[in-house]
Structure 1
Amino acid sequence: MGTLLTQLPALLGVLVGTLGTILATSLADRARWRRSQSIRWDERRLDAYVEYAHAIKESHAVALRMTADHRPGSHSHPIDREDGLARLAEADARRTIVWENLLLLGDEPTVAAAAVWRDAVWQVERLARGIVDPPPDIAVMLTRVNEARDAYYRMARRSLGVRGGSVEQSSALQQRFSTDQP
């Protein structure tokens, strides 16, 4: 019994050391797993943001081409109405699919900004489809689209932790548009 009592501190030391090693390893593995999951989801979130931007820009580009006649001084290449409607339908289907990825992976402010951008582009699409008459100042409609796009990118960059200053284009495009007018 005396031998066990003299060895007890050493056994307790080994036991505490083993438990400490297991705990430290477990915490390190958990932190490494969380980092890897965070990187994985950030990559997927980035892909969802980019795919959505491409899809909405595709719809907008087609709608701009279809409305080129309504915009004096437009640099858009006009497109045949039937071809444009077919392209809008294809773009709308793509946008609907990537919207689901955005809803799944995007944060709330970015999804809200994406919806505002989508609604602004829908107004241009409605004009392209002939659902609404051209507004007196179509530049206001296009400015809304550009401002909504800027807000989307601002929120997406914030969501992803991208730094580097403003990438807003709306004011530059508005200035270019106003100088192109006769």
Structure 2
Amino acid sequence: MDTLLTQLPALLGVLVGTLGTILATSLADRARWRRSQSVRWDERRLDAYVAFAHALKESHAVALRMTADLRPGSYSHPIDRDEGLARLAESDGRRTIVWENLLLLGDEPTVVAAANWRDAIWQVERLARGIVDASQDISEMLTRVNEARDVYYRAARSSLGVRGGSVEQSAALRQALLSRPSATPDGRMAADDG
């Protein structure tokens, strides 16, 4: 019995050490698994953000080409109305699919910013489709599109933890617009998206 009592502190030390090792390993594995899951979802979130931006830019580019004749001095290459409507229909299908991914994976500020950008582009599309008349101020519409895009990218970058300063384009596009030599017949400057 004396031998057991003298060895008891050593046995307790081994037991405590073993339990500590098991606990530390378990906590480390759990932290590694959480990091792995975070990276996995961040990659998918990035893919959803990029796919949505591409789909919107595709729709917007077609709408710009369809409205090129409304913007003297536009850099957009005009497109036949029937071809433009067909392309808008195709891009609308793609945009709908990537929107669902964005809703599933995006955080709230990014989804709200995406919806605002989409709605701004819809206004230009409505003009291209002839749903609203050409008396609408297209320069103002395009400014809203550019500003909404900046808000979307700011929200997406924040969601993904991307650092590196501002990548906003609307101010530069507005400045480039003001420096163009051509203006619309009513004195407003022609506008294009960057």
Under a length normalisation based on structure 2, what TM-score does the superposition of the two structures give? Answer: 0.91
Partner of 1:157: 157
Question: How much does 1:6 deviate?
Answer: 1.9
**1:26 and 2:26 aligned:** yes
- In the TM superposition, 1:111-126 aligns within 5 A as 111-126=111-126
- In the TM superposition, 1:86-125 aligns within 5 A as 86-125=86-125
Question: How much does 1:136 deviate?
Answer: 4.5
Partner of 2:53: 53
Question: How much does 1:24 deviate?
Answer: 0.3
Stretches of structure 1 that go unaligned for 5 or more consecutive residues are none
Deviation track 1:56-108 (CA, whole Å, cap 9, x = no partner) reads: 00000000000111111111001011111110011000010001111111110
Question: How much does 1:2 deviate?
Answer: 2.5
Deviates more, 1:6-15 or 1:75-84: 6-15
Under a length normalisation based on structure 1, what TM-score does the superposition of the two structures give? Answer: 0.97
Deviation track 1:96-154 (CA, whole Å, cap 9, x = no partner) reads: 00011111111100000000000000000000111000235310010000000000001
Deviates more, 1:55-64 or 1:39-48: 39-48
Are the counterparts in 1 of residues 68 and 76 from structure 2 also a CA contact under 8 Å? yes
What is the RMSD of the two structures over their aligned residues, measured on CA atoms? 1.0
- In the TM superposition, 1:27-42 aligns within 5 A as 27-42=27-42
Question: Counterpart amino acid of 2:78?
Answer: P
Question: Counterpart amino acid of 2:159?
Answer: S
Question: Counterpart amino acid of 2:133?
Answer: D
Stretches of structure 2 that go unaligned for 5 or more consecutive residues are 184-194
Alignment length, in residue pairs? 182
Are the counterparts in 1 of residues 66 and 78 from structure 2 also a CA contact under 8 Å? yes
Question: How much does 1:31 deviate?
Answer: 0.8
Question: Counterpart amino acid of 2:48?
Answer: A
4+ residue segments displaced more than 3 Å: none
- Percent of aligned pairs with the same residue? 83
Are the counterparts in 1 of residues 124 and 138 from structure 2 also a CA contact under 8 Å? no
Question: Counterpart amino acid of 1:172?
Answer: A
Measure the CA separation in 2 of the matches of 1:14 and 1:119.
66
Deviates more, 1:97-106 or 1:3-12: 3-12
